[in-house]
Structure 1
Amino acid sequence: MTPIAEPPPQVLTTFGLTEHPLIPLEGGTVVGWRVGEVVLSLVPDNARAAWSARARENLYVEGMRIARPIRASDGRYVVSGWRADTYVAGSPEPRHDEVLAVAERLHEALAGMERPRFLLQPPAAPFTDVDVFNAADRAAWEDVPLRSARAAGMPEPESEDGKQSVEALKTLAGLRRPVDLTSQVVHGDLFGTVLFAGAAAPAITDIVPYYRPAAWASAVIVVDALAWGGADDDLIERWSHLEEWPRMLLRATMFRLAVHALHPRSSSGALPGLLKVVDQVRLLV
């Protein structure tokens, strides 16, 4: 990940953040800047950042801390590609069941929210990370996996592990069955982004929107936790009360395989854990 440069003076001025020093927030590299009790961060997509800000502005979820957006002096949520949010203390921890409990409460609160229009837009060149995740999401649900990616002209994976992830994706696609669940706005990237600070309530700083069943978003957490988070295998069973659980795990695993196949920064070291989940899911469906 490339370190984030300091926000320019006009951004600080527009958000009214000129009275405090800039303190880098690090996560291996600089991922944002703290200015007093505010965090400034670059956004990958202005429309999604503004949507997330509006969604979080007055959202209340029992037992959760939520970073609130700071509006600029002219009312904007995003200025020159930067957003500002209240600082919430904490860091990610491997408390997987608690993250899943956060997901249930959060998605209950988001259930009535309208589908953002930008989620209907197909991926388009020049491709960004947003386009990659958009195409990967569609790959798990469309009749022919990766059809949207190919139609948009996304390059086929050339690495051996990329090709392997496509083969695993095709294998799982053959095991799919129709899903009869209501889709809603969900946060599709909760693994590794929920912040914990001792006994304080868990916190989120963003909402990464997808329009899928709530159980799918929980399944993504489980897939990530099993593949890369050191979770015990019983995590699947502990959350098996969720609707159409094996089918949601299948679609979530397909989503992650598609991300691995399409993303230019995918690491070969990430695939073995994901293939382990593939084997587990094949036994369930």
Structure 2
Amino acid sequence: MTTISAPPEQVLTTFGLTAHPPIAMTGAGVAGWRVGEVVLSLVPDRARAAWSATARENLYVEGMRVARPIRASDGRYVVSGWRADTYVAGSPEPRHDEVLAVADRLHEAIAKLERPRFMLQQPAPPFSDVDVFTAADRAAWEDVPLRAARSAGMDIEPAGDDAQQSIAALKTLAGLRRPVTSKSQVVHGDLFGTVLFAGAAAPAITDIVPYWRPPAWAAAVIVVDALAWGGAEEELITRWSHYDEWEQMLLRATIFRLAVHALHPRSTSGALPGLLRVVDQIRLLV
């Protein structure tokens, strides 16, 4: 993982973090600087960072630890592209069923949150990581997959064999979709690899990456990620099959990940074999 530059002095001063030197944090899923009991990290999108801070500020979820946002001296959540949160101990672990249980509790707690306005925005050049994930999410649900990406001017016919395999698998799964009726709400769409465990302590989250989808879809993304890259056994699918419209949610979660792989400029070929294994498993279910 590339180490990001240390936070500027002005950022440290505005957040009131001048008593301790910043220490770069390293490890899986970590990108930030620890300053005493606070973690500073760069944000990919200011609106989403401010929304997450607001959502987490007074959030209580039974059996979970939640990183709380730190406001700057002028009340802001984001200063020069940096946010500050309380430090929570732990690291990601392959405790997939526990991550899914976290998702259930978290989504119940945030079920009444309104849909943020920024979720209605279309991807626009120059395309950021957020735009790529937005287009990939819509690809899994729109009648013609990748229509939003095409309309925005994204390259949806990439030249590499790797990306072309992703597109081909995506189109195959898209043909298996059926209408769904599950209700959408704000969900955390990136829980795999971001839930922190520290022994017997309650699991922790440091962010909420918002999507407007059914909670079962967010759970399906966790399962797809765990099967593709987390070494999870195939039985994980059936253990959580009590979700409504589960097979269709798994389809859409897999399409989402295939679209991210095809569209994202930093995708690596090593990620595709795991995804294609999931494609084979999901095709047998529907």
TM-score category, normalised to shorter length: over 0.9
* Contact 2:77 2:84 survives alignment (8 Å): yes
SS of the aligned residue for 1:161 comes to helix
* Contact 1:4 1:30 survives alignment (8 Å): no
* Contact 1:23 1:33 survives alignment (8 Å): yes
Q: In structure 2, do the counterparts of structure 1 residues 149 and 36 end up closer, same or farther at CA, with 3 Å as the change threshold?
A: same
CA distance in 2, matches of 1:101, 1:28: 21
* Contact 2:38 2:86 survives alignment (8 Å): yes
CA deviations over 1:129-180 (Å, ceiling 9, x no partner): 0000000000000011011101101123221010010000000110000010
* Contact 1:4 1:31 survives alignment (8 Å): yes
SS of the aligned residue for 1:166 comes to helix
Partner of 1:69: 69
CA deviations over 1:164-198 (Å, ceiling 9, x no partner): 10000000110000010100000000000000000
CA distance in 2, matches of 1:212, 1:277: 21
Unaligned runs of 5+ in 2: none
Q: In structure 2, do the counterparts of structure 1 residues 207 and 28 end up closer, same or farther at CA, with 3 Å as the change threshold?
A: closer
CA distance in 2, matches of 1:142, 1:264: 22
- Which amino acid in 2 is paired with 1:179? V
Partner of 1:47: 47
Partner of 2:159: 158
- Which amino acid in 2 is paired with 1:88? V
CA distance in 2, matches of 1:147, 1:29: 31
Partner of 2:5: 5
Comparing 267-276 with 209-218, greater Cα deviation is found at 267-276
Alignment of 1:76-225 (within 5 A): 76-156=76-156, 157-225=158-226
- Which amino acid in 2 is paired with 1:209? P
Comparing 17-26 with 192-201, greater Cα deviation is found at 17-26
Partner of 2:257: 256
CA distance in 2, matches of 1:167, 1:233: 23
SS of the aligned residue for 2:41 comes to strand
Identity across the alignment (%): 81
SS of the aligned residue for 1:155 comes to coil
Query: Structure 1 stretches (4+) deviating beyond 2 angstroms?
Result: 27-30
CA distance in 2, matches of 1:28, 1:230: 15
CA deviations over 1:20-75 (Å, ceiling 9, x no partner): 11111013697110001000000000000000000000000000000000000000
TM-fit CA distance, 1:2: 3.1
Q: In structure 2, do the counterparts of structure 1 residues 30 and 234 end up closer, same or farther at CA, with 3 Å as the change threshold?
A: closer
* Contact 1:188 1:210 survives alignment (8 Å): yes
CA distance in 2, matches of 1:101, 1:12: 36
CA distance in 2, matches of 1:155, 1:92: 33
* Contact 2:28 2:92 survives alignment (8 Å): no
TM-score by length of 2: 0.98
* Contact 1:24 1:30 survives alignment (8 Å): no
- Which amino acid in 1 is paired with 2:87? Y
* Contact 1:3 1:30 survives alignment (8 Å): no
- Which amino acid in 1 is paired with 2:262? A
Alignment of 1:237-248 (within 5 A): 237-248=238-249
Unaligned runs of 5+ in 1: none
CA deviations over 1:239-260 (Å, ceiling 9, x no partner): 0001111010000000000000
Comparing 28-37 with 158-167, greater Cα deviation is found at 28-37
User: What is the count of residue pairs matched by the alignment?
Assistant: 285
Partner of 2:18: 18
The alignment's C-alpha RMSD in Å is 1.0
- Which amino acid in 2 is paired with 1:81? G
CA distance in 1, matches of 2:31, 2:238: 35
- Which amino acid in 2 is paired with 1:186? V
- Which amino acid in 2 is paired with 1:170? K
- Which amino acid in 2 is paired with 1:72? A
CA distance in 1, matches of 2:201, 2:29: 26
Comparing 2-11 with 181-190, greater Cα deviation is found at 2-11
